[in-house]
């Protein structure tokens, strides 16, 4: 990890309490440090608590055991220093593309002219020029997620939290969006925590991949995955393939375990 | 043109009405010919009777419904968002909701007398709960991720309530308002029929008692048309508000 940690997760445990039924230990003594402008993927089988960890860092769920700090200050709630992108876009359906992007800028108290210009810049950045006045219901999945990414980037959070952002997209769109995200990330470098269960996606996008174990969620290992992202043949290289295999083997054990818990 | 064809059945009823009454297939006291009814309507417009009584009714209806929408929406959203408010009000809403509100006509008269006040109160009480329940269900269905998104973009809790919960509650709340709109007409005319010195209901009652059946039918048709027009207007407003839903 380059430089001092920007995000510190220290021995965090979290109980998930469903409205009915018994409570489940979702995270067990998780510790993680993420450096400034580092891209870290949280990888694991479904139900391993990777999204829960993201929501805790985002301040959407209360930290009950352990400590999470960002830039030295403990996290106590959501804030515009940590922007989030959800799997199902979470756009305001009653606002246009432009309206969605303007919302965060309005909340930051940016002057009208400035925020209008900034919104248009980001619409352009994610390739949605011409769709400014469309409502989310008029857009494809990929365009919705571009809007969501633009909305979050526009108010310039230091940290970008992404919760399986391409999980709801078809395979081709997902590939395009991954490349798009890297392009944007290289233009506006930020600290990124990216939740996914797609091994190749994690290895391709992230500097480091934190592999999580099945319930209760723990961080099993952290693997360095720094590659030259601009290499168009990256996917065909031996080193990349071996890295994917190495991590896939780690995840497979956990996926089997996660399935096994349901079989008596 | 399409609208014209859609409403042809109404024209057929009108023709049947006229013929049945003209040829005295039914007693003309029970059903005066439509042309007589229209003539009576024109007379009542000319001498201002329909206008003054109509104005009184419209004022009561709009005041009662307006209050019901404002208070009902605030209560419903507050119940959905603050647990203590829900604990306090939910049992009251549950018990009060199925009560036929026309049963309150004498009660509101005892409280506020024969004038506008008792009608406004009755319509307010009768129309509030459908709005409250609509707003409550709508607000409860607001998506967690939208709330979180707004919060992470720097919206405080009150701001988030206004920017996310209120628009999320809107579709269901507007359904509640539509029910309330229909109820307001029912309650208005019933209350005026029973105790009032003015209004559509009063006019229907007194004309009927005097045996002026053509004029009575004219008022009934006027009320029916206003109810229909109000519902259409409501639909127009909703469609305009929900351009985003496609």
Report the residue of chain A nearest B147, measured CA to CA.
Answer: A90
Before B98, cis peptide (omega within 30)? no
Distance CA A182, CA B171 (A): 39
Query: Which residues are A15's β-sheet partners?
Result: A25
The minimum CA-CA distance between A157 and chain B, rounded to whole Å, is 9
User: What beta strand segments (E) does B54-200 contain?
Assistant: none
| B2: exposed, middle or buried (Cβ count in 10 Å: 0-12, 13-18, 19+) | exposed
Contact of B146 with chain A, judged by CB distance below 8 Å, is answered with yes
* CA–CA distance, A22 with A18 (Å, rounded to integer): 7
Within its chain, how far is the Cα of A165 from the centroid?
A: 7
User: How many angstroms separate the CA atoms of A40 and A47, rounded?
Assistant: 19
B-chain residues near A92 (CB < 8 A)? 146, 149, 163-164, 167
* Nearest of A78, A74, A82, A71 to residue A156 by alpha carbon: A82
- Maximal C-alpha separation, chain A: 62
- Contact residues, chain A, for B149 at CB < 8 Å: 84, 86, 90, 92
Give the alpha-carbon dihedral of A164, A167, A168, A169, to 10 degrees. 120
Match 């409403």 to its residue by tokens: B7
Average confidence (pLDDT) per 10 residues, chain A, 264 residues: 80 88 88 94 88 95 94 93 93 95 94 94 90 94 92 93 91 86 86 94 94 87 87 84 90 76 46
3-class secondary-structure state, position A59: coil
Alpha carbon distance A59, A50 (integer Å): 14
Provide CB contacts within 8 A for B53, sequence distance 6+: B198, B199, B200, B202, B203, B219
In 3-state terms chain B splits into helix, strand, coil percentages (rounded to 5) of 85, 0, 15
pLDDT of residue B30: 83
CATH architecture of the domain with range A5-81+159-260? 3-Layer(aba) Sandwich (3.40)
Alpha carbon of A106: minimum distance to chain B alpha carbons (Å):
9
Test mutation, B143, B153, B240, chain A, max A CBs within 10 A? B153
Instruction: Please name the residue that has the structure tokens 């048309």.
Output: B225
**Half-sphere exposure at residue A128, Cβ-oriented, CA atoms within 13 angstroms:** 32
Considering only CB atoms, which chain A residues are within 8 Å of B143?
90
Other C-beta atoms closer than 10 Å to the C-beta of B142 total 20
Return all residues near B69 (Cβ < 8 A) that are at least 6 apart.
B127, B131, B177, B180
A12: which strand partners? A30
Q: Which residues of A154-193 are buried (b: 16+ CB within 10 A; e: fewer)?
A: bbbbbbbbbbbbbbbbeeebbbebbebbeebbeeeebbbb
Q: What is the pLDDT of residue B84?
A: 94
Other CB atoms within 10 Å distance of the CB of residue B123:
29
What are residue A236's phi and psi, to 5 degrees?
-90, -10
A137 in contact with chain B, both atoms CB, cutoff 8 A: yes
Q: How far apart are CA A175 and CA A139, in angstroms?
A: 18
Alpha carbons within 13 A on the beta-carbon side of A83: 24
All residues at 6 or more sequence positions from A4 whose CB lies less than 8 Å from its CB, including other chains: A35, A36
Residue extent(s) of CATH 3.40.50.300 domains in chain A = 5-81+159-260
Span between the terminal Cα atoms of chain A, in Å:
41
Using the beta-carbon criterion (under 8 Å), do A155 and B149 form an inter-chain contact? no
What is the rounded distance in angstroms from the CA atom of residue A228 to the CA atom of residue A205?
10
Sort out which chain A residues have CB atoms less than 8 A from B160's CB and list them.
none
Measure A230 CA to nearest chain B CA, in Å.
31
- Residue B220, Cβ density class (10 Å: 0-12 exposed, 13-18 middle, ≥19 buried): middle
**A84: nearest CB among B152, B159, B163:** B152
Q: CA A216 to CA A196: how far, in whole Å? A: 17
Phi/psi-derived region of residue B195, left when phi > 0, alpha when psi is between -120 and 50, beta in every other case: beta
B124: tokens are 């307010």
**pLDDT computed for residue B233 by the predictor:** 92
Tell me how far apart the alpha carbons of residues A199 and A210 are, in angstroms, rounded to a whole number. Answer: 11
pTM of the model: 0.83
Cβ–Cβ of A86/B163 closer than 8 Å? no
Q: Are B188 and B123 in contact (CB under 8 A)?
A: yes
E strand spans, chain B: none
Question: What are the structural domains, with CATH classification, of chain B?
Answer: 47-202 (1.10.3720.10)
Selection from A187, A206, A184 nearest residue A195 by Cα = A206
Is the CB of A80 less than 8 angstroms away from the CB of B148? Answer: no
Q: How do the pLDDT tens digits run along chain B, 246 residues long?
A: 788 888 899 999 999 999 998 888 888 778 899 999 999 999 999 999 999 999 999 999 999 999 999 999 999 999 999 999 999 999 999 999 899 988 999 999 999 988 899 999 999 999 999 999 999 999 998 899 999 999 999 999 999 999 999 999 999 999 999 999 999 999 999 999 998 889 999 999 999 999 899 999 999 999 999 999 999 999 998 888 787 775
Q: Is A44 on the interface with B (CB under 8 A)?
A: no
Check A107 against B151: CB less than 8 A apart.
no
For residue A8, what is the enclosing H or E element? Answer: strand A5-16
Residue B210's H or E segment, with its range, is: helix B200-210
Residue A242: CB partners within 8 Å, gap ≥ 6? none
Contacts of B162 in chain A (CB under 8 A): none
């Amino acid at each position: 990890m380059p430089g001092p940690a920007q995000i510190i997760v220290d021995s965090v445990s979290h109980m998930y309490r469903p409205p009915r039924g018994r409570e489940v230990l979702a995270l067990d003594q998780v510790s993680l440090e993420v450096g400034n402008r580092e891209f870290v993927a949280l990888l694991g089988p479904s139900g391993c608590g990777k999204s829960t960890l993201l929501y805790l860092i985002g301040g959407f769920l209360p930290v009950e055991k352990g400590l999470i700090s960002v830039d030295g200050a403990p996290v106590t709630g959501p804030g515009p220093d940590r922007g989030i992108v959800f799997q199902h876009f979470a756009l305001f359906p009653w606002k246009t593309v432009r309206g969605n992007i303007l919302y965060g800028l309005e909340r930051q108290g940016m002057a009208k002219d400035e925020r209008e210009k900034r919104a248009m810049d980001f619409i352009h950045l994610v390739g949605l020029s011409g769709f400014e006045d469309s409502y989310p219901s008029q857009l494809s999945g990929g365009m919705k997620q571009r809007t969501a990414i633009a909305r979050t980037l526009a108010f310039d959070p230091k940290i970008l939290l992404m919760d399986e952002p391409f999980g709801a997209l078809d395979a081709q769109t997902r590939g395009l969006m991954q490349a798009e995200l890297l392009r944007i990330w290289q233009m506006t470098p930020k600290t990124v925590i990216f939740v996914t269960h797609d091994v190749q996606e994690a290895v391709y996008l992230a500097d480091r991949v934190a592999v999580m174990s099945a319930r209760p969620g723990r961080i099993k290992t952290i693997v360095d995955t720094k590659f030259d992202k601009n290499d168009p043949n990256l996917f065909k290289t031996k080193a990349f393939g071996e890295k994917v295999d190495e991590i896939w083997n780690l995840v497979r054990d956990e996926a089997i375990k996660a399935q096994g818990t349901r079989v008596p | 043109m399409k609208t014209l064809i859609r409403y042809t059945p109404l024209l057929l009823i009108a023709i049947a009405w006229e013929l049945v009454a003209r040829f005295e297939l039914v007693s003309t006291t029970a059903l005066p010919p439509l042309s007589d009814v229209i003539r009576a309507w024109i007379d009542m417009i000319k001498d201002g009777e329909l206008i003054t009584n109509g104005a009184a009714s419209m004022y009561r209806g709009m005041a009662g419904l307006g209050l019901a929408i404002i208070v009902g929406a605030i209560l419903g959203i507050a119940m959905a968002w603050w647990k203590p408010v829900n604990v306090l009000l939910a049992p009251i809403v549950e018990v009060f909701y199925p009560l036929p509100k026309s049963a309150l006509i004498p009660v509101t008269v005892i409280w506020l007398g024969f004038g506008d006040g008792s009608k406004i109160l009755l319509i307010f009480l009768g129309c509030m709960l459908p709005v409250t329940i609509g707003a409550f269900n709508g607000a409860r269905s607001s998506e967690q991720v939208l709330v979180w998104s707004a919060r992470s973009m720097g919206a405080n809790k009150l701001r988030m309530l206004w920017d996310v919960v209120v628009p999320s509650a809107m579709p269901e709340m507007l359904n509640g308002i539509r029910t309330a709109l229909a109820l307001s007409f029912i309650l208005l005319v019933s209350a005026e029929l029973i105790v009032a010195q003015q209004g559509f209901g009063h006019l229907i009652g007194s004309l009927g008692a005097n045996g002026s059946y053509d004029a009575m039918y004219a008022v009934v048709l006027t009320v029916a048309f206003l109810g229909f027009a109000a519902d259409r207007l409501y639909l127009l407003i909703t469609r305009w508000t929900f351009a985003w839903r496609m």
